[in-house]
Chains A and B, each alone.
Chain A
Amino acid sequence: MCLNTRRGISEVISSLLLFVIALAVLVIIATSIYGYYTNAISYVPLFFHESKLSMLEKLKVVYGFYEDGTVVLVIYNYGDIHTEISYIVVDQKVYLATDFITDTEVKAGEIKVIQFELTLDQGIHVLGIQGRRGSKSTILVKVQ
């Protein structure tokens, strides 16, 4: 009769081994959760920061006129932050500002004159701009 005389590992070693394995699994899970959490949480202050900036952006068309196929708009940034003109609105149509002008930046407290070629029919037209963070301003322009 052949009996298996090999002895198993002791209770202490097996407990330690199990503990180390459990700890390793825990560390892996915790690291992945922590990575996901820090990634997700990093967007929260960014969201608040962007919301704050959108409140501080203030662009206004202070004057405008149309003459010989050219639209002239005087834009004032009376907000606390530098910004850019993203869109130009002509009546119901929205154009990218870069379609008409190259320098779209308006610094805080700066007044800027932009002019671009556009054909408008006789009558009253709504011309407007929209800033990078959503501030809008319009002006009525009469075309003779």
Chain B
Amino acid sequence: MSRRRGSTIIALSIITIIAFLIIVSMASIIISGMSDLLRTQLNVFDEETERMRENIEVEAFSSGGKIGLCINNTGTTTILITYVVVHDVSSDDISIYNVMWALDTGEDLTEILEHEYPSPGSMVKCVLVSSRGNTWQITIKG
């Protein structure tokens, strides 16, 4: 009788150990996945906060027949302008300029685009795109 009880105890112990190992391995996988996900989520929140702090004021001028842009960072974070999209409204041409214009808070920047300034009567729309996905549009009439 006592031998049978001993066997039962051993079997139960083995089952308990296996169940424990399964639970531990599952928990470790879930915990590591969750912590990684949480870290990513926090980074996304940080990026989103920075994105909301971005703001610029843009003015356009003609410089030797090219489009000149005077940009003032009025936001509370540094900005990296990565692209300028120029839409010539009269011909419907779209030009994309890959730029890397970095602006500190409160900094002014003047840059010349390799794009013709619109002739009198025509119009172009410029969209400045930041690395965090913000956009600012300016309409330039010739």
Contact A63 B135 (CB under 8 A): yes
Contact A63 B22 (CB under 8 A): no
Count how many chain B residues have C-beta atoms less than 8 Å from C-beta atoms of the other chain: 29
User: Which residues of B are found within 8 Å of A113, using beta-carbon distances?
Assistant: 94, 96
Stretch of A1-9, A52-60, A95-103 lying at the B interface: A52-60
Mark interface residues in A64-102 (1 if CB within 8 Å of B CB, else 0).
010100001010101000000000000000000000000
Contact A60 B133 (CB under 8 A): yes
Mark interface residues in B15-47 (1 if CB within 8 Å of A CB, else 0).
000100010011001100110110011001000
| B91-118 residues at the A interface, CB under 8 angstroms | 92, 94, 96, 98
Distance (whole angstroms) from the CB of A55 to the closest CB of chain B: 5
Please, which residue of chain A has its CB at the minimum distance from the CB of B131?
Answer: A78
Contact B85 A44 (CB under 8 A): no
User: Which residues of A are found within 8 Å of B18, using beta-carbon distances?
Assistant: 30
Given contacts A55-B44, A74-B94, A113-B94, contact A62 B33 (CB under 8 A): no
Contact A78 B132 (CB under 8 A): yes
B129 within 8 A of A: yes
Contact B131 A63 (CB under 8 A): no
User: Which residues of A are found within 8 Å of B137, using beta-carbon distances?
Assistant: 63
Count how many chain A residues have C-beta atoms less than 8 Å from C-beta atoms of the other chain: 24
Contact A44 B135 (CB under 8 A): no
A120 within 8 A of B: no
Contact B129 A111 (CB under 8 A): yes
Contact B37 A74 (CB under 8 A): no
| A19-67 residues at the B interface, CB under 8 angstroms | 30, 37, 41, 44-45, 47-48, 51-52, 55-56, 58, 60, 62-63, 65, 67
Contact B33 A48 (CB under 8 A): yes
Given contacts A44-B29, A48-B37, contact A76 B94 (CB under 8 A): no
User: Which residues of B are found within 8 Å of A55, using beta-carbon distances?
Assistant: 37, 40-41, 44
Binding site for A on B (CB under 8 A): 18, 22, 25-26, 29-30, 33-34, 36-37, 40-41, 44, 82-83, 85, 87, 92, 94, 96, 98, 125, 127, 129, 131-133, 135, 137
Binding site for B on A (CB under 8 A): 30, 37, 41, 44-45, 47-48, 51-52, 55-56, 58, 60, 62-63, 65, 67, 72, 74, 76, 78, 109, 111, 113
17 inter-chain pairs at a CB distance below 8 angstroms, sorted by A residue, are A41-B25, A41-B26, A47-B33, A48-B33, A48-B36, A51-B37, A52-B37, A56-B40, A62-B135, A63-B87, A63-B94, A65-B87, A65-B92, A67-B92, A109-B82, A111-B85, A111-B129
